[in-house]
Structure 1
């Protein structure tokens, strides 16, 4: 009988362990609602197209209205500065969910594209800038797309790099489709003071966002909101369970027998104490990893943004190229299209290869493209083929490197830090985009060797960071 009981206990223990293991596996591989996930990834694609659709013709549009190449770089990059500013109020009122930011993004995307299109009719240069600034508020959604794909409430730890790879695929598609559409629409022209080669990208994108907004309203399912302090207190009172929580913001704690009417210092809230406790648990090596990922998030978008802004200007100025906006758009798009199969392969590789190795491969590829560009500038062998080889390598390498910046941090830091790391990475992205676009627009005037030399130096700093912290960058695959 005793032997039989021991056997039953072992069976029960094995069953419990198996159920626990199954539960852990399900937690690591969980995914959000499919329709909502498709909407978020599609939103990322639309925002990428919105960002890049003006690249091929913004230089000519600005010149027509009295601007110059540097101003066109500002037009391309300035939205990300306003995206960063708009995140401050949005994150204060979003309650940790996503539907409200989606609605805000759709509204400002429509408004911004309409303003950009009306600048031609109004013959007012700065209306282009105003329109792009309004678009910038919509681009705040970039952060929410990243946060959604790494949110531990809905995405398992072994799915985050995979979903981040989808975002990078959309990034590559937007980088190809946007300039191509902008160039084609410019080439068609449409001899109309309202709808023409300069304004048609704005009108078409505004119409697309109207349709997409309807789909968001109908199909997007937000994640459940966490209970508020008042709701927790109410539940506690109904169950007669004492809770040590601070009352809702703006109210003092209730008086106690020892309470004195003399002024006292208000005790710190549990949220503040929790944040301090979490900060104390972050090790020096983890701070190094955070700094490294923020640097690469800024670096990749600085280089990609500078090349996208510079290619139309450099192509038009180069003696043997003489590119029109249509030719520049096709060139940029061709680089993105030919990178696309490799970005799809990265989607599969991300499930089996560590994030740090993906980062290293992307950085090495991108650096190779920069070094090749220096050599063809020095030897004077700039032509369509040699320039394309540089652009393709730069685009593929630094797009691959952007895959892991947030997903790696989300795997190393506590789940409660996902919102903060999303903000840190996104602000780094925005900094890279806006400064890169301005640097790219100024590339010809500052000298192309100086232009690419700064980028090589920045990659060198990144290489020192990730080689120093190589062991600390190790995380789970997937």
Structure 2
């Protein structure tokens, strides 16, 4: 074969190959359409391999491998489930809403305590007695008890489907306290004793928020289990600060205006005028900044509200016994605190010749002293169970009461000892009562959480009213009789608490 022939054949083969390649390249649409399913399949397989590789590297870094070297499905599920449960256990509502709830708690207690230093002298000026003065202090919580059911209907409408709308009672509290303080201030101008009582009754409508302070900080739908006792104790701290600021404010304004002859703004009404303006200002902040949480907000609600009519089982005898203890413990704790606070202006005036300003400072300084201890007590829930916190609190309170009874019987009760014992008693029963609603939320079925909160509020309202009346009449029932009554009620509650000790360790339902 000649070179020219070979070159020709080679050129023919090259030319033929080029023509075939050219035909393929020049009709790509039909060809690629046929291969596209295979290309997509290869691409998806490659993506899955890449994802699987990264996932395996993650489990390798977290040491969650089984014996075969592959991640265990059980371990993965357990890890995710545990992580989710921990997140739920530590969940809290929006912080600005918590702040407004706690500020409302402070201001409510300020409104309750601002009249303590001046109430005896104010009622006496208008023709009232010490017992009537105690009624003026205690009547608001009785009204709050009567208004409790209407407020529950207002705050939990059918449209909320079991969820509580806390914004509604907060607005009511702003309006009621503003009107109540205004009427209280106008009693001297009107020269009508009962206008003081009517004004305080309006304050009582605002005091229905005492229920919602505790309910919000322990709401099973909003607050994780690990945070309920912490937030409930923060509410106790807010109450303590309110107890401190209210009487101090009433006392210092009484001192600053005692020479005024104005019948509208004077030593008896200065504190209430101040509180009225503060409530109006708080209402503005409430409208602007408060954020309500609804069940549809998946990131801020732990679970769906429970239908109160659902068939989740009746109350057992143990549940009923627990609820009775809840109400009794709340009653005893706040009976002692409210009774002592109301009796201080009368008791200290007789023993130490204290005026309204000094009595207000006495009450306020005691609250200021225990405030740091109450604050540090908020962290006890990290290491102690609710029952242990309650045990410590009740023992401290009872010891302080017994020591006061001994010193009062011996007529050797200097003002320093009285101040220390009162402070210790208030601290003990404050932290002892703090976990009550939180404990009930952990042990009772969700269906009965509202019931437990209501029973707590009933005990609190009755104790503030009865305690204030007894404290105002401390010399009518004798000092020994008053302190002995506080001790007797505390011991009965403490014995019932001990009978429930083992049951409180685990859930009852």
Instruction: For structure 2, list consecutive stretches of 5 or more residues without a partner in the other structure.
Output: 1-64, 157-163, 298-305
8 Å CA contact 1:293, 1:425 repeated in 2: yes
CA contact (8 A) 2:332 2:463 kept: yes
Is residue 2:94 matched to residue 1:26? no
1:59 aligns with 2:120: yes
Contact 2:66 2:72 in 1 (8 A): no
* Structure 2 SS opposite 1:443: coil
Tell me, yes or no, if structure 1 residue 302 matches structure 2 residue 372: no
Say if 1:225 and 1:24 are closer, same or farther in 2 by CA, change over 3 A.
Answer: closer
- Separation of aligned partners in 2, 1:440 and 1:355: 30
- Compute the TM-score of the two structures, normalised by the length of structure 2: 0.81
Contact 1:150 1:160 in 2 (8 A): yes
> Is residue 287 of structure 2 the alignment partner of residue 287 of structure 1?
no
> 1:106-135: per-residue Cα shift (whole Å, max 9, x none)?
100100011111111111111100000000
Residues 5 and 201 (structure 1 numbering): CA distance in 2 closer, same or farther, change over 3 Å? closer
- The structure-2 alpha-carbon separation of the partners of 1:225 and 1:82, relative to structure 1 and needing over 3 Å to count, comes to farther
For 1:302 and 1:467, the matched residues in 2 are separated by 20
Q: Relative to 1, partners in 2 of residues 1:134 and 1:8: Cα closer, same or farther, differing over 3 Å? A: farther
Residue 357 in structure 1 maps to residue 418 in structure 2:
no
Q: Does 1:171 align with 2:225?
A: no
C-alpha distance in 1 between matches for 2:475 and 2:201:
25
- 1:414 alignment partner in structure 2: 445
1:109 is paired with a residue of what secondary structure? helix
What is the CA–CA distance in structure 2 between the aligned matches of 1:461 and 1:215, rounded to whole Å? 44
Structure-2 change in CA distance of 1:31 and 1:442 (3 Å): same
2:349 to 316, 324, 344: 316
- Structure 1, unaligned stretches of length 5 or more? 228-269
**Residues 140 and 465 of structure 2 are in contact (CA less than 8 Å); yes or no, is this contact kept in structure 1?**
yes
Q: Which residue of the partner structure matches residue 223 of structure 1?
A: 293
Q: Deviations over 1:186-209 (max 9, x none)?
A: 111261221111111111101001
Matched, 1:189 2:257: yes
Separation in 1, partners of 2:94, 2:215: 15
Distance 1:188 1:211 in 2: 23
CA spacing shift, 1:16–1:271, aligned 2, 3 Å: closer
1:278 aligns with 2:346: no
3-state secondary structure, aligned to 1:401: helix
1:472 matched to 2:503:
yes
Which among 162, 167, 170 is matched to residue 99 of structure 1? 167
Give the match's secondary structure for 1:444: coil
SS at structure 1 position matched to 2:360: helix
Residue 213 (structure 1) aligned with residue 213 (structure 2):
no
Shift of 1:5: 12
Following superposition, the deviation at residue 92 of structure 1 comes to 1.2
Q: Tell me the distance in 2 between the aligned counterparts of 1:365 and 1:286.
A: 27
What's the counterpart of residue 186 of structure 2? 118
2 CA distance for matches of 1:29 and 1:106? 31
* Residues 205/382 of structure 1: CA separation in 2 closer, same or farther (3 Å cut): same
Distance apart, 1:271 and its partner CA: 6.0
Shift of 1:88: 1.2
Structure 1 residue 272 displacement after superposition: 7.3
- Partner in structure 1 of residue 217 of structure 2: 149
Which residue matches 1:449? 480
**Cα displacement (A) at 1:273:** 5.4
Query: Which secondary structure state, in structure 1, belongs to the residue aligned with residue 104 of structure 2?
Result: helix
Candidates 167, 187, 198, aligned match of 1:130? 198
Residue 221 (structure 1) shift: 1.1
Cα deviation for residue 12 of structure 1 reads 2.9
Measure, in 2, the Cα distance between the counterparts of 1:225 and 1:137: 27
Q: Which residue of the other structure, out of 453, 457, 469, is the alignment partner of 1:438?
A: 469
State the SS of the aligned residue for 1:291: helix
Q: In the TM superposition, what is the alpha-carbon distance from 1:418 to its structure 2 partner?
A: 2.2
**1:37 corresponds to:** 98
Q: Distance in 2 between matches of 1:295 and 1:5?
A: 54
**Root mean square deviation, CA, Å:** 2.0
